[in-house]
């Protein structure tokens, strides 16, 4: 049959979706699709849908977690759209829509106050937390959605407290402005992760198309819901809680499905602690599954990266202590209950990762592991055949009561032993070592050694 059509002179494909071949016979070249003829019609419909709502080159042009994340993100957007309809109806009722005694001026003032406080909240939040949104995108993404549901719940309840209506809607407006900043910024961070061909704009545009389609579906369903919930607060609250549960569940599954290959503080700490325990390197999937997506309030020793020199050392003697056993382009110190890292201008990405590893090690050593407070400076170090490992849990504890500079020196010794094998291991496991999501501040310091 193939010989009757001609010889195959060339083949081509469109990503992994379509493949074609060119047949030459009697001086004529004919283009035919690979596969059965019956598939062509169905594939063309699917192809149109993909071209409208999925990035060009899908699935090769996006990360492996793209489809799963988009499924849950679409579901949460749908439920949020329905919850937003209920909240909007309550807000309109609260400002006087349908009430003959309400004035246009009063409603306008209330709306302007809500928008004005929201603008201020947006500026203040971006100022205070803008740098955290890249390094902790999952946490802030989930936080934004919880805060959004809280704001909509306040808007639904506001009409039942007319004396405090303006205060409630202004507070809800501040919450929603924070949601706008956190949600938009973390969406951009996740888009950077998903883009594998420098196609951030295409992914963002198609994500917008998906959300528009979902909102359109939500709008159609809202047209049916509005007559049912009008003047029925019990049904309104019942539906709101149903949609909220669905919204939060879908958001949790969405951020849990994201597998980032770059290190932030949480992922690096998880991988390092596992390596110190049994010399096993966790893959990006394993580490992301363990990464917390809610903000934690347990007591730990915080880490500050890229600080000023005076936050690490405050005298020439302390500078000499910081440089002892240290030939790296960074300085570490413990000051005011924090592990502080001062970075030199020539530090590479690998130097930043090593500095963070040492800071994580120091933080874990200074953080109590039980309800009993431990002495302020304890080095937990076990030496076995030249290998250094941290012992915790049911293992034997070796307590060396030392000053914090001795612990800093100990951390250099630990990293001199384990960091190079650790670095090779994480690269082999599939981690991206060309960049990080560690939250470095901008201070860079050049210091002089005692000999110079």
Flag whether pLDDT at 386 surpasses 50.
Answer: no
Please report how the helices 233-257 and 66-94 are oriented relative to each other, as an axis angle in degrees rounded to 10.
Answer: 150
Other beta carbons within 10 Å of 132: 14
CB 180 within 8 A of CB 133: no
Task: Please give the Cα distance from 404 to 335 (Å, whole number).
Answer: 9
Given pLDDT bands bounded at 50, 70 and 90, which one contains residue 368? low
- Residues of the chain above pLDDT 90, percent: 56
CB 447 within 8 A of CB 331: yes
Q: DSSP characters for 249-295? A: HHHHHHHHH----S--HHHHHHHHHHHHHHSPPPPHHHHHHHS--S-
CB 337 within 8 A of CB 275: no
Flag whether pLDDT at 373 surpasses 70.
Answer: no
Take residue 421 and report the two structure tokens written for it. 């094998």
The better pLDDT of the pair 251, 21 is held by 251
- 88-119 pLDDT, tens digit per residue, is 887 776 655 545 555 667 667 877 888 899 99
Other beta carbons within 10 Å of 194: 22
Please report how the helices 200-229 and 38-53 are oriented relative to each other, as an axis angle in degrees rounded to 10.
Answer: 90
Cα–Cα nearest to 312, from 379, 349, 271, 358: 358
Flag whether pLDDT at 403 surpasses 80.
Answer: no
CB 362 within 8 A of CB 408: yes
Label the pairing between strands 338-343 and 303-305.
parallel
DSSP conformational letter for 375:
P
Q: DSSP characters for 21-40? A: EEEEETTEEEEEESS-THHH
3-class DSSP state for residue 17?
Answer: coil
- Domains of the chain, first to last: 2-53 (no CATH), 66-257 (1.20.1250), 265-428 (no CATH)
Question: What does pTM read for this prediction?
Answer: 0.82
- Mean pLDDT, residues 60-67: 93
- 234-284 pLDDT, tens digit per residue, is 898 999 999 999 999 999 999 999 999 999 999 999 999 999 999 999 999
Alpha helices in 131-164 (DSSP H): 132-135, 137-157
In this prediction, residue 115 carries a pLDDT of 85
The better pLDDT of the pair 435, 370 is held by 435
44-48, 65-69, 345-349, 387-391: least confident range = 387-391
CB 440 within 8 A of CB 352: yes
In this prediction, residue 382 carries a pLDDT of 35
Cα–Cα nearest to 141, from 291, 287, 241, 352: 291
3-class DSSP state for residue 32?
Answer: strand
- Mean pLDDT, residues 147-167: 90
Task: Please give the Cα distance from 379 to 377 (Å, whole number).
Answer: 7
DSSP conformational letter for 62:
B
- Mean pLDDT, residues 432-442: 93
Task: Please give the Cα distance from 80 to 152 (Å, whole number).
Answer: 10
């Amino acid at each position: 049959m193939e010989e009757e059509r001609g010889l195959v002179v060339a083949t081509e494909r469109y990503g992994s979706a379509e493949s074609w071949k060119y047949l030459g016979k009697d001086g004529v070249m004919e283009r035919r699709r690979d596969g059965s003829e019956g598939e062509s019609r169905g594939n063309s419909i699917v192809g149109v849908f993909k071209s409208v709502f999925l990035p060009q080159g899908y699935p090769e042009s996006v990360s492996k977690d793209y489809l799963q994340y988009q499924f849950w993100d679409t579901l949460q957007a749908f439920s949020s759209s329905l919850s937003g309809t209920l909240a909007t109806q309550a807000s309109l009722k609260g400002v006087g829509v349908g009430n003959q005694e309400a004035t246009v001026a009063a409603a306008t003032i209330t709306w302007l106050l809500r928008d004005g406080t929201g603008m201020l909240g947006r500026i203040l939040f971006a100022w205070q937390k803008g740098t955290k949104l890249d390094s902790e995108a999952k946490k802030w993404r989930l936080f934004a959605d919880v805060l959004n549901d809280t704001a909509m719940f306040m808007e639904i309840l506001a009409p039942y407290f007319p004396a405090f209506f303006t205060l409630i809607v202004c507070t809800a407006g501040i919450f929603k402005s924070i949601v706008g900043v956190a949600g938009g910024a973390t969406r951009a961070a996740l888009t950077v992760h998903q883009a594998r061909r420098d196609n951030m704009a295409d992914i963002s545009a198609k994500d917008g198309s998906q959300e528009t389609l979902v909102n359109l579906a939500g709008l159609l369903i809202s047209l049916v819901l509005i007559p049912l919930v009008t003047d029925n607060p019990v049904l309104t609250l019942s539906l709101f809680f149903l949609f909220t549960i669905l919204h939060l569940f879908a958001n949790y599954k969405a951020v849990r499905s994201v597998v980032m290959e770059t290190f932030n503080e949480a992922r690096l700490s998880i991988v390092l602690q596992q390596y110190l325990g049994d010399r096993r390197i966790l893959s990006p999937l394993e580490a992301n599954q363990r990464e917390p997506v809610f903000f934690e309030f347990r007591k730990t020793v915080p880490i500050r990266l890229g600080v000023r020199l005076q936050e690490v050392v405050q005298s020439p003697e302390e500078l000499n202590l910081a440089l002892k056993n240290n030939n790296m382009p960074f300085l570490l110190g413990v000051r005011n209950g924090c592990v502080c890292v001062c970075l030199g201008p020539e530090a590479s990405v690998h130097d930043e990762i090593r500095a963070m590893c040492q800071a994580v090690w120091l933080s874990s050593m200074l953080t109590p592991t039980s309800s009993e407070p431990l002495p302020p400076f304890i080095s937990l170090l076990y030496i076995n055949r030249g290998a250094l490992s941290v012992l915790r849990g049911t293992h034997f504890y070796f307590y060396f009561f030392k000053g914090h500079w001795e612990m800093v020196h100990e951390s250099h010794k630990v990293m001199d032993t384990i960091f190079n094998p650790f670095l090779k291991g994480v690269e082999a496991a599939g981690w991206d070592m060309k960049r990080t999501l560690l939250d470095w501040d901008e201070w860079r310091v050049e210091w002089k050694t005692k000999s110079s």
